[in-house]
Amino acid sequence: MISDEIRRLHELHQAGALTDAEFEQAKAKVLAGERVNLSKNGGSAGYNTGASGFETQLRALRRSRRDRWLGGVCGGLNGVMGIETWVWRLVFLLFTLITSGFGALVYLLMWIFVPEE
């Protein structure tokens, strides 16, 4: 739907993934009925036709300010993937216990490298 495409473009623009000019260009294409994909095509200013939904979700990932116990990583994953926050917390806990702490390292790296919303 057009409204979904424009909402995703707005989210990317707010997150800093799109410049003002890129946002306006992509919005104009959506309103004109063209299909706009949100992955950059190498060094060109245009967009390619092979954007995956996962890639778009990954770019939109931000740590949550509202839904957090420690760093907001699980709340941010909830916002992007749509899986409840408690499930992500359980996944990280089980991953940490099963892999002798590697899950905690992954969480820590995400806390450091994923920007806050």
Report the predicted TM-score, pTM, of the whole model to 2 decimal places. 0.52
What pLDDT digit, counting tens, does each position of 42-72 carry?
333 344 434 566 777 777 788 888 888 888 8
Task: For residue 113, count CB atoms less than 10 angstroms from its CB and return exposed for 0-12, middle for 13-18, buried for 19 or more.
Answer: exposed
Each residue's pLDDT tens digit, 65-106 = 888 888 888 888 888 788 888 998 999 899 999 998 898 898
Give 15-23 contacts, CB < 8 A, sequence gap 24+: 15/59, 15/60, 15/62, 15/115, 17/59, 17/60
